[in-house]
Amino acid sequence: MGANYLASLSHYVPELLACVTMFGLILIEATYKESQKERGLFFLASYLGLASIAFFLFTELQAEPLTIFTNSIIIDSFSTLSKIIMTLGTLGAVYLCSQSKDIEEHLKPEFAIMAVGVLIGGMLLSSANNMLVLFIGVETLSILSYVLASLRKGDERSSEAGLKYSLYGGISSGIMLFGLSHIFGTLGTINFTEMAIVLKSVSTVQISILLPSFLLFFAGIGYKIACVPFHMWAPDVYEGSPLPVTTFFSIVPKVAGLAALVRISTTFFSDPGALNIGWVGTLSVVAALTMTVGNISAIGQRSVKRMLAYSSISHAGMMMLGVLVISEIGTRSVLFYSITYLFMTLGAFYVVNFVNDKYGNDHFERFNGLVYRYPMMAIVMTIIMFSLAGIPPFSGFVAKFHILSAVLLKKYYVLALIAGLNSVISLYYYMKIVRLMILKPAESEESIAGFSYLNQAIVCALGIPVVFLGLFWEKVLIIADGAKVFVQ
Amino acid sequence: MQASSQLLNWILWMPFIGVIGVLLVPKSKEGLVKWWSLVNTTITFALTLVLYSKFDTTVPGMQQAFNVKFPWISNFNIFYSLGVDGISLPMIILTGLLFLICILSSWTISKQVKAYFALFLFLQTTVFGVFLSLDFFLFYVYWEVMLIPMFFLIGIWGGENREYAAVKFFLYTFFGSILMLVGMVALYYASGTGVDSFNILALQGGKFTNLTIELFGTTLSFSKLFFVFLFIGFAIKVPVFPFHTWLPHAHVQAPTAVSVILAGVLLKMGTYGFLRIAYPIFPGASVHFADAIAWLGLINVIYGAFCAMAQTDVKKLVAYSSVSHMGFVMLGLAAMTVTGMNGAVLQMFNHGTSTAMMFLLIGILYERSHHRWIVRPDGTKGFGGLYTQLPKFSIVFIIAMFASMGLPGLSGFISEALIFLGIYEKYTSITVLALLGLLLGAAYLLWMFKRMFFGDVIEECKSYTDMNAREIAFMVPLCVAVVVFGIYPAPILNIMRASVGNLVSMLANY
């Protein structure tokens, strides 16, 4: 048994590396003096750590799927790809944090440490093959997120965000656990593989218990993805948190939650029947509501950060469409969407952050005439905005096309139409910022300190995949296509 | 064989080479940017003429000699596939000609010259892409990408209310495209996701007539539902009433050259979409909805004409006259007879030239007057007695106006006559009412002419100078086209005859 565990460890290098990185960062941070401002070494270490995690994950991408730790963790190409996306998202957020003025200097290391912790939770969540591991993943992710949300200790709004987040989070974890206990009571196991086998031969009475239990269980995941009706916390948390934290929140927990949702849907609900109808029906309504509510709320925002935060809710709704079809093409479309969403979100938040640092707020007017001062930044931001709205030839369009094709394959015409109309709504507010950047004259000639040549180059580099994946998406498609959810 | 088969690629990407060239020129050398764009569009236009000379008028379908096809995204069977037939060729030549003329008319642009010409040439590539694509996905991509340069061209170089107009234009068209996207993906699955699932030609021929779909327990006809989706997508572009409300804003706010392209080429993309995609793929549904299309066309004709009559802004008047004239195209499409369809395609071409002339002339006038009021909001005359002040301008204006009115001997007459001949038997009452629209057209144009060109010369008109050599140079080709095709339309009719006949015979089976 012990030897078995040791053997399992060899397949668990990325997660272990993440733990090592986290503890290493704590130790490095401890060596700094209170008065010391520069933390070059600390950030270098965090980049190295995250990059090596990503590297190991890349090498694992082609590996055969397997389960480790007595069948409680599953490692397949789907989970590996999700982890790569999350790691890159974390890396992006940590770099943003090192450059941002929105977080006080002495709190930056804390952000990086917590972010790596959340990443570990996300990794656990995306490869859970056991209800308890899944729950531990959700909690690791959540508890550290509460700390992140209230990172700016002196700021009232930040503390409020943290409190709200933890209250909502606590309740939804409770509901989730309640659902889990019923599922365990009915099926007699918490292992996904065994559960799937038992589920094939459940009686009608059991189904009548299981269906509500699964819906209770969904509350926990839905809360992490911030889908309607569990999204109430999101605006306050996004608003109150510093910008790098918002960036982080709109990528990592969402991808982790969606990965878990994909695994649960494919493992338990792929066979037609009452359970399938109930689950897909619920997800359909939730997805449609999430898209619409996210979009409509985004229209009225004055702050670009809030606008992007709301739009990230609606994007999560879009990705849920790819989940609820429960098919390989659906999974593929979710992965493709996540990959493009990663680059678009990072690029957009980078630009917003630097403008915000300069002016102290990120109201739409701050972007007036950006093209006359920083043409490259304005062009990349324009590309990203059009891509988020789903206009070809940018990758956002291809992602949307994939989702639509997954949905229409199942002949869910109404859902496809709702998704399409939502992207029209979203174009309205994305276009607002393009309009201000390019069509309005500049308010001032002042330079923005954040747009150093290095940062401009990084933003441009984030823009490249947005264009490239819109034109030549076949290669990525093959990677995403290979990333199958392993069902035993 | 090899050389000519790359011709479509050259036509499509030549303007894009122009874009790259423009971007490489330093910002300070504005003259070089203009000359380079001019040379580039001249080459493109010459290439379209080469295509015309090599075109075989007897082939009914796509001209195999020119086809270009290779895989783009093979997982989804998406191909980069180009082709040309008798319906698209007139549009391609029109595009080549109008962009060349528009570059000349844009010579006076002084704001952000480099960006303007780069976007303008980029727009040309996307327009060619729409007319050349034989793959539905590729068609959609070009159809959408085209919105981006249009948005900026209207939004940066437009009139006072340009931002509103640009946003409205973008949102409206995007809404239509989304319906088209859903329809496209549904077609992809309905046709079995095989090699030809995005191939516009292979989807044709009414394969989906008997397919049904379930929606909340009701059974709907697949072809009728998605015909309506595609119809709305294309109708917004045409624009068909009630989807026309973006057009007056976009036209009035856009700079002259962009108005010309918008009216001359972009509106035709809507009707081209009917001819290339909606009709051939869903012939049964098209026949089923023919009555509705005819009535909508009639509303366009009459309503557009009345709206035009009420305008005090001359550019808005011409914009509404486009709504009215595109109504004739819709009538021709509803006829589904050889004569009517030929008339419709010819009208697409003729309206392209005549309305382009009108917009160019208004642009020329605007550069002198800096306003476009026929009657100012305070009730005074905006123009008066232009005829004595600007004789050359007036002569060209008369030609354009009469062409647009459909006076015999000029191009508009033939296409409108063909449309009426084609539709008369099927929709007699609509024909009679549409003839009234023709009368209204004459009324608002002549009334406008009377108010602007006759009467006393008002003080500020005395300082206007007549057209200069550059302006005459770009108006002459259009004048020639309008007169020549008014007397002898055979060159265009010959190219389209076989292809249109092919389409009509397909529709005749339903």
Mapping DSSP onto H, E and C, the string for chain A reads CHHHHHHHHCCCHHHHHHHHHHHHHHHHHHHCCCCCCCCHHHHHHHHHHHHHHHHHHHHHCCCCCEEECCCCEEECHHHHHHHHHHHHHHHHHHHHHHHCCCCCHHHHHHHHHHHHHHHHHHHHHHCECEHHHHHHHHHHHHHHHHHHHCCCCCCHHHHHHHHHHHHHHHHHHHHHHHHHHHHHHHHCCCEHHHHHHHHCCCCHHHHHHHHHHHHHHHHHHHHHHCCCCCCCHHHHHHHHCCHHHHHHHCCHHHHHHHHHHHHHHHHHCCCCCHHHHHHHHHHHHHHHHHHHHHHHHHHCCCEHHHHHHHHHHHHHHHHHHHHHCCCHHHHHHHHHHHHHHHHHHHHHHHHHHHHHHHHCCCEHHHHCCHHHHCHHHHHHHHHHHHHHHCCCCCHHHHHHHHHHHHHHHCCCHHHHHHHHHHHHHHHHHHHHHHHHHHHCCCCCCCCCCCCCHHHHHHHHHHHHHHHHHHHCCHHHHHHHHHCCCCCC
Q: Kindly report the nearest CA distance between residue B277 and chain A, in angstroms.
A: 19
Out of B145, B152, B174, the one facing A427 most closely (by C-beta) is B174
Report if residue B223 sits inside a domain: no
Higher per-residue confidence, B446 vs A69: B446
Tell me how far apart the alpha carbons of residues A46 and A116 are, in angstroms, rounded to a whole number. 9
Query: What's the confidence (pLDDT) of residue A5?
Result: 76
Residue B477: inside a domain, yes or no?
yes
Instruction: Give residue A52's pLDDT band: very low, low, confident or very high (50, 70, 90).
Output: very high
Q: What is the mean pLDDT of residues B167-187?
A: 90
The nearest CA of chain A is from the CA of B139 a distance in Å of 11
Query: Percent of chain B having pLDDT more than 70?
Result: 99
| pLDDT the model gives residue A447 | 78
Break chain A into its structural domains and give their ranges. Answer: 1-31+39-266, 269-488
Q: Which residues of A touch B74 (CB under 8 A)?
A: 474
The pLDDT of A451-473, averaged and rounded, is 86
How high does pLDDT run on average in chain A? 87
Residues of A in contact with B167 (CB under 8 A): 428, 431, 435
Where does the pLDDT of residue B6 fall: very low under 50, low under 70, confident under 90, or very high at 90 and above? confident
Confidence (pLDDT) at B451: 87
Q: B174 vs chain A: nearest CA distance in angstroms? A: 7
User: Tell me, what's the pLDDT at B63?
Assistant: 78
**Chain A residues touching B73 at Cβ < 8 A:** 473-474, 477
Q: Is the pLDDT of residue B506 over 70?
A: yes
Q: How close B155 comes to chain A (CA, Å)? A: 6
Contacts B214 to A, Cβ<8 Å = 411
Q: Which of A295, A386, A422, A439 to mutate to test the interface with B (most CBs of B within 10 A)?
A: A439
The two three-digit tokens of residue A195, written as one number: 């559960």
pLDDT in tens, B355-364: 999 999 999 9
Average pLDDT on A175-188 reads 91
Residue scoring higher pLDDT (A391 or A70) = A391
pLDDT of the residue at A3: 62
Nearest chain A residue to B155 by CA: give it.
Answer: A439
Nearest CA in chain B to A423: B178
Nearest CA-CA distance, residue B221 and chain A, Å: 13
Residue A179: pLDDT band (50, 70, 90) is: very high
The residues on B that touch A, with CB distances below 8 Å, are 73-76, 140-141, 144-145, 147-148, 151-152, 155-156, 162-163, 166-167, 170-171, 174-175, 178-179, 181-182, 185-186, 188-189, 213-216
What is the structure's pLDDT at B375?
85
CB contact under 8 A, B182 and A431: no
| Each residue's pLDDT tens digit, A229-284 | 888 888 888 888 888 999 999 899 999 999 999 998 888 888 888 888 888 999 99
The phi, psi pair for A250, rounded to 5°, reads: -85, 0
* Lowest-confidence region among A89-98, A102-111, B301-310: A102-111
Least confident of A296-305, A356-365, B20-29: A356-365
* B434 pLDDT higher than 80: yes
Q: How many domains does chain B have?
A: 1
Range of the domain at B451: 289-510
Please give the pLDDT value at position A241.
85
In this prediction, residue B1 carries a pLDDT of 41
Average pLDDT over residues A78-92: 93
The pLDDT value recorded for residue B4 is 53
Contact B185 A481 (CB under 8 A): no
* Beta-carbon separation of B155 and A438 below 8 A: yes
A404 contacts B73? CB cut-off 8 A:
no
pLDDT value at A6 more than 90: no
Does the pLDDT at position B2 exceed 50?
A: no
pTM, 2 dp: 0.92
Closest residue, chain A, to B168 (C-alpha): A428
- Is the pLDDT at B436 greater than 60, yes or no? yes
pLDDT tens column, B302-339: 999 999 999 888 999 999 999 999 999 999 999 888 89
Residue B10 lies in a domain: no
A-B contacts (CB, under 8 Å): 84
Q: Residue A382: closest CA among chain B residues belongs to which residue?
A: B148
**Pick the residue with more confidence: A369 or B140?**
B140
